[in-house]
Structures are given as C-alpha cells and as structure tokens.
C-alpha cells in the first residue's frame, strides 16, 4: 500500500504540472464499498494529504461500486471536458451487488474512458472494461514498472474533434496579494499575512492557482496555466522523414536546419538525416525535431509564416 501511495502521489504532482487546469478526485475500494476520498479538485497537496492519511486496506473490492461512484462524480463534467478514470487494482476478483456489465455500458455511453493497472494477475473483467471504454490495461511487474505505467497517464489525450466545439468558459486572472497584507483565506477559513491571490470578481483570497473561488465559484488561473494546457490539447503534427532522393538535393534547396541553422550536410558533402514539417515544408535536424515536439510545442516554420503573412499582404496592397 505504501508503494502504491508513493507512486500515486508522484502521479498527482506530475499530472497537475502538465494539466494545471484539470481536476482529480480519489476513490478507494475496500470492504465491498467505494469511498470518495477526495472530491474533484485542483489542489495536489490536498489530494496527497488525504491519500497519505488513509493508508489502509481491508475486505473485498467491488469494481462495480467504484464505477458507479465514479460515474456519479464525472456526470457533472461538461461535454468539452475529458472524463478519465485510472484504476490501480490489486484484487483477484470483484464482489459486486449487481450486473457489472450494465455499469460498464453506462460508463461507455457517458464517454468515460477507464484505464486499469493491475497489481496482481490479469483479470478478464478488467480487460473487458478497458476495451469497452477505450482505455488501456496493463499488469505491473515491479515498483519501477508501476511508476512507468502510472506516469504514462499524466499527459492528456488530444482534443476530440467531436467535442472541440467553441464554448465560452468564465475564468478569472487574480492578482498577487500585497506582501504584509492581512486577509482571511477563503479556502482555509483563517487569517493569513501576505501572499495568496485575490479573486477579481468577489475579492476573496485564495492560496494557490489554479483553483475555484470558494465564494463565487469563478475558475481562477494564470496565463501560463492556459499555455501549458493548450499544447497538450492541440499537439503539433509529427514531422516527416525526408526521403534520400530529396536529401541528395539539399545542396540546391535547404542546406541548413530551419531551427538551429546548423548545416544539414555532413563532412564529405554527404546529406545528413533530417525531417520536414508537413505544413510549412521546412527542414529540421533530429535534435530540433525532438526539441520542437517535447519542449517548444510550436513549429518555427509555421510560426514565421503566420507572422510574415500580414506584412506581405500590406506590401502587396
């Protein structure tokens, strides 16, 4: 239990680092009942504190009761949000009060994607659940494998075109409270000196971002949070390998990487390996390919075209 809790704690921190606008809720299965450990929220410290305070297990596990509770919690999520469930399951059976197949179909109909990491042997019902809801099912081998499997679920899936409709969401960008100022924290219900943030709508104080104002319910974020969430929802298109025939003509076309300006021609006038953006057709070295997709999340070639387009239009006019 301690090993699992440690990996879940690491997952929670990594999840909120990559998904600052998302929310997590914790559900525990024991004694045939599903217990809601924490409600959906955006505070990693609150989730980890609640998790570490309940390191106990007993009785049978009921997968159906867990899915029913999760379905109830996620039913309030709007249609543009992703409904994801990650289950860490160590039991070798499930003791359910009813037909779990109907519950699985209910989750599938509500578009709740269930993934499961087994800590014991493979179970048919777990595999069936993941197949029906479009999730992933793995059985962990050891502690290192558990960590690897859990952290694979930290990056969010790309936005689904069916649900990527234009929706206006009210958000507030609070200001940092002045140092030395005394105010009552709305989330802890106590007076604090300095720090914190002030809700732009009701002027209530909160300790951390992102969060939901306890007074008026406004979602409070900062601009970096929006930027970090956006590139996961709309990932950059993978670059394509440049064919040998095209590489042989690099001397006549693009001799340098568009990103770092390093030569794409190796010593001996031999063309080196490179990739090209399928949209702007600019060539990049392999190092820039990795940097663009894992860190920058924007194609320099596409961005340069976007910047130059208005200028060229004005020049033509």
pLDDT digit string (tens) for 174-232? Answer: 988 777 677 777 766 777 777 788 889 998 888 877 777 888 888 888 877 777 777 76
From the list 136, 138, 129, the residue with the least C-alpha distance to 101 is: 129
| Distances from the Cα of 137 to the Cα of 72, 103, 123, 222, 271, angstroms | 23, 18, 10, 35, 43
Domains in the chain and their CATH numbers?
2-151 (3.40.50.410), 171-233 (no CATH), 240-316 (3.30.40.10)
> Can you name the residues that pair with 150 across neighbouring β-strands?
none
Residue 46 has pLDDT above 80, yes or no: yes
Alpha-carbon distance of 232 to 288, in angstroms, equals 19
Q: Are strands 197-198 and 112-118 parallel, antiparallel or unpaired?
A: unpaired
Residue 108 has pLDDT above 80, yes or no: yes
Residue 70 has pLDDT above 90, yes or no: yes
Weakest-pLDDT range from 42-51, 77-86, 132-141, 306-315: 306-315
Using one digit for the tens of pLDDT, what is the confidence trace for 269-304? Answer: 777 888 999 999 899 999 999 999 888 888 999 888
Using one digit for the tens of pLDDT, what is the confidence trace for 305-317? Answer: 765 555 444 444 4
Return all residues near 96 (Cβ < 8 A) that are at least 6 apart. Answer: 62, 63, 64, 65
> Does residue 24 contact residue 48 with C-beta atoms inside 8 Å?
no
Mean pLDDT of 143-154: 92
Alpha-carbon distance of 259 to 283, in angstroms, equals 8
Share of the chain above pLDDT 70, in %: 88
Average pLDDT taken over every residue of the chain: 84
Alpha carbons within 13 A on the beta-carbon side of 255: 4
Q: Would you state the pLDDT for residue 193?
A: 74
Q: Would you state the pLDDT for residue 160?
A: 54
Alpha-carbon distance of 131 to 137, in angstroms, equals 8
Q: Would you state the pLDDT for residue 234?
A: 72
Alpha-carbon distance of 163 to 176, in angstroms, equals 34
Q: Which residue is associated with the tokens 């929802």? A: 233
Q: Would you state the pLDDT for residue 166?
A: 55
DSSP 254-295: --B-TTT--BSEETTTEEPP-EE-TTT--EE-HHHHHHIIII
Residue 125 has pLDDT above 90, yes or no: yes
Q: Would you state the pLDDT for residue 316?
A: 44
- pTM > 0.85: yes or no: no
Using one digit for the tens of pLDDT, what is the confidence trace for 256-267? Answer: 899 999 988 887
Alpha-carbon distance of 281 to 261, in angstroms, equals 16
């Amino acid at each position: 239990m301690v090993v699992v809790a440690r990996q879940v704690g690491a997952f929670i921190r990594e999840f909120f680092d990559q998904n600052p606008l998302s929310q997590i809720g914790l559900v525990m299965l024991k004694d045939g009942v599903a217990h809601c450990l924490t409600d959906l929220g955006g505070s990693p410290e609150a989730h980890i504190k609640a998790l570490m305070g309940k390191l106990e297990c007993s009785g049978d596990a009921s997968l159906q009761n867990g899915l029913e509770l999760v379905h109830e919690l996620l039913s309030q999520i709007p249609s543009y949000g992703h409904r994801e469930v990650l289950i860490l399951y160590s039991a070798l059976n499930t003791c359910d009060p009813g037909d779990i197949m109907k519950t699985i179909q209910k989750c599938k109909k509500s578009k709740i994607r269930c993934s499961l990491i087994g800590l014991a042997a493979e179970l048919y019902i777990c595999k069936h659940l993941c197949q029906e809801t479009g999730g992933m099912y793995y059985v962990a081998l050891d502690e290192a494998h558990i960590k690897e499997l859990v952290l694979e679920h930290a990056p969010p899936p790309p936005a689904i075109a069916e649900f990527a409709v234009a929706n206006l969401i009210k958000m507030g960008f609070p200001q940092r409270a002045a140092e030395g100022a005394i105010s009552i924290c709305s989330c802890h219900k106590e007076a604090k000196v300095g720090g914190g943030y002030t809700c732009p709508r009701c002027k209530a104080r909160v300790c951390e971002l992102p969060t939901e104002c306890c007074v008026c319910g406004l979602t409070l974020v900062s601009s970096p949070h929006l930027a970090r969430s956006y590139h996961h929802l709309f990932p950059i298109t993978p670059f394509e390998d440049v064919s040998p025939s095209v590489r042989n003509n690099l001397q006549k076309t693009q001799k340098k990487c568009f990103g770092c300006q390093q030569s794409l021609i190796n010593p001996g006038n031999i063309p080196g390996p490179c990739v090209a953006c399928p949209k702007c057709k600019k060539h990049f070295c392999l190092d820039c390919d990795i940097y663009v997709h894992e860190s920058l999340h924007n194609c320099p070639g596409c961005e340069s075209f976007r910047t130059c387009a208005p200028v060229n239009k004005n020049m033509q006019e």
